[in-house]
Amino acid sequence: MLLCSSSIVTSLRAPEPEPEPPSPAPTSSPSTLDPKQVIALESLDIPTARDPCGQPSFHNATLCDNAKPFRHLISLRLANCSSYLSLSFTALKALSTLRSLTLLNCPAAPTHLPPQLATSLTSFTCVNSLRKVSGVWLSQLQNLTHLTVSDVQVKASGPFVILAHMSKLTSLTISNANLTGSLPGHLHSNLTHIDFSLNHLKGSIPPSITMLLNLQTLNLSSNALSGQIPPSIGDLISLQNLSLASNSFSGSIPDSLSALPDLLHMDLSSNQLNGSIPKFISQIKSLSYLNLANNNLRGVLPFNLSFINRLQVFKVAGNSNLCYNRSVLSSKLKLRISPCDKFGMPVSPPAKDSSADDTTDDDYDETDDEGSRHKKDHHHGPNKFVLGVAIALSSIVFLIVFLILCSKCCR
């Protein structure tokens, strides 16, 4: 096509440009994915107009290998699925090259797992998906290194049914799954992360857990576990996060915790722990989160201001026999425990008067202030009572005299 410039003038007229042919309608980009897997993705309501190996969508992420002539899926993430979605055996069989499968908010019912897929998967994440699954169904995934099941009802007599043959696991999360039974007596040494929180597990912490030298996270919170925290927990030399909150653990805080130099997070709240708080806790330099609230701990709080200020979270409320030394800690910290008397015992909140230091009120929460006001009112109560009785007696005497005078006048 010839275009005339405005800077060139000729006596010849430029030929009229021929009309361009209409542009063809947009077509789907050629897929490099195995045609069988394209069909499988379409059955899962995943658009395939664009090459799934090229530009994954926001909600349904895909990752492919570099095989030729066709590529294969090695990672698939299904999120916010339709309630009508069906995970058919045929589709899953076609996707048996997957190494990672993630289901987020996908209420599809579980189906029989193709053996090839069960063997291929090394990572399985299921959050608020599949409605209910059985321990036997999960136990088929024997080559997993990462297992996360959260907000899903798991029907199993205990974790052992699921984990018995998962010898390659490094990360394990089964949380808020209505899981019953006891903690497994045997766990594989590769584990670095264990989360059994928000279940119904009973019994004590078995020695098998404290033998995991690579374990960095142990979360057993919100179960029905009991017994003492084993002294061997100090053998978990790699531990960084420990949460045993909301159980029924009793006994004292083991001294062996002092052997955990990398501990960042320790939550022992809402148990039945007793005894004094060990001073060594303040010597764990990496610690940033400490929650010892709602136990039966007693004695003088062994921490100074510099240690408490170093923590991002510090909670000790709900230990009625625990107190703090007023010469060491300021009442402005609002620790929600009482100060100590000279014998190291908690004292009751002092009555508020004009000569008292205004900062003493900061030792207590609002309920403590209400108690102080109640005691103050009660202290002045007898004076008001005597005054009221005197006024009443005077009124009665006046009434009697008045009646006598009236009777004499009537005569």
Q: How confident is the model at residue 389 (pLDDT cuts 50, 70, 90)?
A: low
List, for residues 266-277, the tens digit of each pLDDT value.
999 999 999 999
Cα separation, 283 vs 268, whole angstroms: 18
pLDDT at 8 over 60: no
Q: How confident is the model at residue 36 (pLDDT cuts 50, 70, 90)?
A: very high
pTM to 2 decimal places: 0.76
Q: Compare 358 and 40 and report the one with higher pLDDT.
A: 40
Q: How confident is the model at residue 219 (pLDDT cuts 50, 70, 90)?
A: very high
Q: How confident is the model at residue 399 (pLDDT cuts 50, 70, 90)?
A: confident
Please indicate, yes or no, if residue 17 is contained in any of the structural domains: no
Please indicate, yes or no, if residue 110 is contained in any of the structural domains: yes
| Side-chain-facing half-sphere of 55: CA atoms under 13 Å | 6
pLDDT, residue 2, reads: 36
| Side-chain-facing half-sphere of 116: CA atoms under 13 Å | 10
Please indicate, yes or no, if residue 111 is contained in any of the structural domains: yes
Please indicate, yes or no, if residue 256 is contained in any of the structural domains: yes
pLDDT at 119 over 60: yes
Q: What CATH code is carried by the domain that includes residue 250?
A: 3.80.10.10
Please indicate, yes or no, if residue 176 is contained in any of the structural domains: yes
Q: Compare 53 and 91 and report the one with higher pLDDT.
A: 91
| Side-chain-facing half-sphere of 194: CA atoms under 13 Å | 27
pLDDT, residue 386, reads: 59
Residues 347 and 372 sit within 8 Å (Cβ to Cβ) = no
Domain of residue 139: give its range.
Answer: 81-92+99-369
Please indicate, yes or no, if residue 42 is contained in any of the structural domains: no
User: H or E element: which one contains 203?
Assistant: strand 202-203
In sequence order, which residues have a C-beta less than 8 Å from that of residue 317 and are 6 or more positions away? Answer: 293, 294, 335, 336, 337
Cα separation, 210 vs 231, whole angstroms: 9
Number of domains observed in the structure of the chain: 1
pLDDT at 303 over 80: yes
Question: Which segment, 204-208, 214-218, 281-285, is predicted with the most confidence on average?
Answer: 214-218
Residue 329, judged by CB atoms within 10 A of its CB (0-12, 13-18, 19+), counts as middle
Q: How confident is the model at residue 329 (pLDDT cuts 50, 70, 90)?
A: confident
Q: How confident is the model at residue 92 (pLDDT cuts 50, 70, 90)?
A: very high
Q: Compare 289 and 388 and report the one with higher pLDDT.
A: 289
Report the pLDDT averaged over residues 49-63. 69
The angle at the Cα of 134, spanning 129 to 140, to the nearest 5 degrees, equals 100
pLDDT at 201 over 70: yes
Please indicate, yes or no, if residue 280 is contained in any of the structural domains: yes
To which residue do tokens 């009793």 refer? 250
Q: Compare 13 and 85 and report the one with higher pLDDT.
A: 85
**Mean confidence (pLDDT) of the chain:** 83
Q: How confident is the model at residue 106 (pLDDT cuts 50, 70, 90)?
A: very high
List, for residues 358-382, the tens digit of each pLDDT value.
333 333 333 333 444 343 344 444 4
Report the pLDDT averaged over residues 197-224. 96
pLDDT, residue 299, reads: 94
Indicate the DSSP class of residue 286.
Answer: T
> CB count, 10 Å around CB of 273?
22
Cα separation, 391 vs 382, whole angstroms: 14
pLDDT, residue 111, reads: 84
To which residue do tokens 């019953």 refer? 180
Instruction: Say what the alpha-carbon torsion angle 156, 160, 166, 168 is, to the nearest 10 degrees.
Output: 130
pLDDT at 64 over 50: yes
Please indicate, yes or no, if residue 85 is contained in any of the structural domains: yes
Report the pLDDT averaged over residues 135-160. 96
Percent of the chain with pLDDT over 70: 80
Residues 59 and 85 sit within 8 Å (Cβ to Cβ) = no
Percent of the chain with pLDDT over 90: 57
To which residue do tokens 């664009």 refer? 50
pLDDT at 6 over 80: no
